[in-house]
A and B are shown apart, each in its own frame.
Chain A
Amino acid sequence: MARIDLVDLAQSYSGNDADPASFALKPVTMTWRQGGAYALLGPSGCGKTTLLNLISGIVTPSRGKILFDGVDITPLSTQKRNIAQVFQFPVIYDTMTVGQNLAFPLKNRGLPKNEIDARVAEIARLLDLEPFLSRKAMRLTADAKQKISLGRGLVRSDVAAVLFDEPLTVIDPELKWQLRSKLKALHRELDLTMIYVTHDQTEALTFADTVVVMHDGRVVQSGTPAELFDKPAHTFVGYFIGSPGMNIVPAEVRGREARIGGHSIALNRSYALPAGAKVELGVRPEFVDVATPAPGLISANIERIDDLGRVRFARLRVGDVKFAARVPPGFSVSGDVAGLVFDASRVHVYADSLLVEGAA
């Protein structure tokens, strides 16, 4: 159990002198709270697995330091770091029984037998593996195997953190839900720091108290699911989280007014923007309503309506830009053109993809 600090940590697989833009992980400084449930979210190739492997010691960073409770552990090997990690595909020791598999990490560290037995029994109970304890692990199904891998990650009570690298990839969707809620329950029960890597936003948002979004080797935002939804710090976060993602529209912003293709939208705050920056408005489809075209409203061409059951979203085009907006209940769409009504308090301004805080 430990607080984990990353200090100016970076990783380049082609040496330190390589072009910084090619780094698999660009320099990052951040703190992981003891006992927190974190999710590392991002598309494939964004550097999240690299970050995980740096923390577990499988990869040695080309720059920066990792501190566990203030102690620099960067040069230490994986064995000495006291970290548990669960991989994407189940790793089990074929010749051992399920019980022996779970006991393996403890046995290697020379714990007394009665302690091992007690701990294995507890983990087996938590993961519903009790009926299989004396069975050979090789004969089990893929999800039972992955449960064993999870169990081996959780069995040590003294670990600094448990890292999960997309652990539910091989699991059936229905079981996924069960296992994820199980992990969440285990997190509460065992008081371990858990870091969960995934490219699936639902998985990240349901598992974690803090979601760390990564994009192109950079940590672009870390916050609660609500923060990520309400106030994306980067256009990528807005686009990646939420379904459909945030609308990002090029605009001109002057003071409290934004102009999109000749139409003006009133903003809640006043913005002073650096000259020459690429300025965009970001607004979630949930906060834009489709209305009958009227003067003063931005007009958009309707491409199609997606009926999601509880809510309907219109897919539109504003000029050349794709746009999504909510269709209010009871509103029936007629014709190809619709007006858009913005919730001004929910419209964010981005300069060069980064959120700009306005002044009141």
Chain B
Amino acid sequence: MDKTVNQKAWFLVLPVFLVVAFSAILPLMTVVNYSMQDTFGNNQFFWNGVGWFKELLDPSTDLGSRFFASLWRNLAFSAIILAIEVPLGIVVALSMPRDGWRVAACLVTLALPLLIPWNVVGTIWQIFGRPDIGLLGYVLNNMGIDYNYVSNEFDAWATVIVMDVWHWTSLVALLCYAGLKSIPDAYYQAAQIDGASRWAVFTAIQLPKMNRVLLIAVLLRFMDSFMIYTEPFVVTGGGPGNSTTFVSIELVKIALGQFDLGKAAALSLVYNLIIIIVCWIFYTVMTNVGAERREQKGVA
């Protein structure tokens, strides 16, 4: 069958194209423009080609070493919070009630941390952890534990991680709960009849049925933690020293602290590229899982 060719249809895309052009493409192009130049203020710019990119990706330079240090720090942070939040979220979802008024109570309680603005979360923990007036810091210090997130690297990391776990475990738990709710009762009844232990029910039914929501949870949490800025910035400001300076904090330091627009533009483009690659992997994995499922249905 011949398809009707009508090039005028492109005009239908035009409004969206214009919106995207002004909101995303043009700003992005200015960043690309900055990344190729150097400035000493006064709105004077000098052509630098790919110089900033070379410097950024070379760990022996000052810029490169700062970038890679913050990148590894950031990846370590993401790995740690994933290793805590995912299992914890599953445990929370499994221990939630399945029906009755308690469900609503649990859901609302779980959703609370998700509703708090990020800088407020940072402020809450910043105060909570202070040794002089913060409940957590005061209690820990009086128990004989020398806790001070301002001066001790380990304490700073612990505070930032616990804060993220407090803030975001709910999301993993809610997603897992949705996955669990979608399992028909017949599966549990069959497992009872097959004499399955609690652990066998978890590994043979619940975990496999949750794998799709878990994938979403892991990727969402990875992306979010990889882009994290507000909360650690409010609590530790990236310190002590540079110990909690993640990529986005480093970026802001270079762009606004030092006003090195070229370096910052190069860094943000590479940062952006990493995120786009992760998104692409996410998208590919999701569509492949979806396609597999459709194929299965087609056979059935």
Contacts and interface: CB of A to CB of B under 8 A. Distances in A.
Given A91-B187, A94-B209, A139-B299, A78 B204 contact: no
A105 B195 contact: yes
Contacts of A152: 190, 194
Nearest to A145: B300
B192 A78 contact: yes
Contacts of A139: 296, 299
Contacts of B300: 141-142, 145
Contacts of B115: none
Given A105-B195, A108-B197, A149 B190 contact: yes
Interface residues of B, number: 20
Given A96-B204, A108-B200, A138 B296 contact: yes
A31 interface: no
Contacts of A87: 186, 189-190
A87 B184 CA distance: 11
Contacts of A201: none
A221 interface: no
Interface string A69-95: 000000001110001110111010111
Given A89-B186, A94-B209, A104 B204 contact: yes
Contacts of A83: 193
B299 A91 contact: no
A93 B208 CA distance: 8
A109 interface: yes
A104 B192 CA distance: 12
Given A85-B193, A96-B204, A139-B299, 16 more contacts: A83-B193, A85-B190, A89-B186, A93-B208, A95-B203, A95-B204, A95-B208, A104-B196, A105-B195, A108-B195, A108-B197, A138-B296, A139-B296, A141-B300, A145-B300, A152-B194
28 contacts: A58-B192, A77-B192, A78-B192, A78-B193, A79-B192, A85-B189, A85-B190, A87-B190, A91-B184, A91-B186, A93-B204, A93-B205, A94-B209, A95-B203, A95-B208, A96-B204, A104-B194, A104-B196, A104-B204, A105-B193, A108-B194, A108-B195, A108-B200, A109-B195, A138-B296, A139-B299, A141-B300, A145-B300
